């Protein structure tokens, strides 16, 4: 995968604007307890980003984090100096151990096609212990079932002399999604606008991903994302924002 400036040159602003994940992880732990059958407590957080979930996951699990972007991993290491963080691509990383839980938050969209998804899921399966559970979700803006043309997401945060507004625009171009990102930054009284290069995301079908999981040997359960938190304990329906995949091995 190509290096992304969003997670390199602008990693500081990305980390700054991210929200706390405590409530998300509280729900996530309930789902893990319900579906995990293995006895161990080893957790691999793939595409871990700045380690926001790991901050709370490490209370109950022995966490290892892996991400493609060295810049964003620096924030994860500073936030969680007690966790081992590694550089790797979700499609083909190789670790000489198996994990009881594998998580992948907000990153499957960066896989460009169903072939990449298949490679990634197979890699996850190979690193998961028997009785373990794989958890990932897919955002609605890259799902054919939920897609709305030219979706715009605005996030903002102010602390002290720093204010950041992040604008994300998702546009369908043939069979992929163009992702355009704009930062409006006010820092120490000075403002600037940064327009990042266009990135390209996959455009996926829930039914195809379910077939891939079944073919690998996973037993998949689908839950719904929530307005307040990413995770919920409600089953996925046509009215859900997007699906959370809970996959038992």
* Residues above pLDDT 90, as percent of the chain: 67
- The residue-averaged pLDDT of 135-157 equals 84
Give me 150's structure tokens. 């030219």
Does 149 have pLDDT greater than 90? no
Would you state the pLDDT for residue 7? 65
- On the 0-12 / 13-18 / 19+ scale of CB atoms within 10 A, 62 is middle
pLDDT-derived band at 1, boundaries 50, 70, 90: very low
First to last CA, the chain: 27
Domains and CATH numbers, the chain: 5-141+202-248 (3.40.50.150), 151-201 (2.20.25.110)
183 versus 11: which is more confidently predicted? 183
Mean pLDDT of 58-81: 95
8 A C-beta contact, residue 194 and residue 183:
yes
Average pLDDT over residues 187-191: 93
Average pLDDT over residues 156-173: 93
pLDDT in tens, 74-124: 999 999 999 999 999 999 999 999 999 999 998 898 898 889 999 999 999
């Amino acid at each position: 995968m190509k290096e992304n400036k969003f997670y390199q040159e602008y990693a500081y602003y990305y980390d700054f604007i991210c929200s706390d994940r405590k409530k998300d992880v509280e729900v996530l732990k309930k789902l893990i307890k319900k579906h995990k059958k293995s006895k161990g407590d080893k957790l691999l957080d793939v595409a871990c980003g700045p380690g926001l979930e790991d901050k709370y996951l490490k209370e109950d699990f022995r966490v290892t984090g892996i991400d493609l972007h060295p810049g964003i991993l620096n924030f994860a290491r500073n936030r969680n100096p007690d966790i081992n963080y590694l550089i790797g691509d979700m499609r083909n990383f190789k670790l000489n151990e198996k994990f009881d839980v594998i998580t992948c938050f907000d990153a499957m969209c960066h896989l460009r096609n169903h072939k990449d998804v298949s490679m990634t899921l197979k890699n996850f399966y190979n690193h998961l212990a028997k009785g373990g559970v794989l958890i990932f979700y897919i955002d609605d803006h890259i799902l054919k079932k939920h897609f709305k043309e030219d979706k715009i997401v605005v996030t903002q945060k102010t602390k002290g002399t720093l204010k950041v507004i992040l604008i994300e625009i998702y546009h369908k171009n043939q069979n992929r999604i163009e992702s355009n990102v704009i930062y409006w930054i006010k820092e120490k009284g000075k403002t600037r606008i940064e327009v990042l290069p266009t990135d390209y995301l996959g455009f996926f079908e829930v039914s195809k991903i379910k077939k891939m999981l079944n073919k690998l040997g996973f037993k998949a359960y689908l839950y719904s994302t929530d307005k307040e938190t990413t995770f919920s304990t409600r089953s996925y329906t046509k009215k859900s924002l997007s699906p959370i995949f809970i996959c038992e091995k």
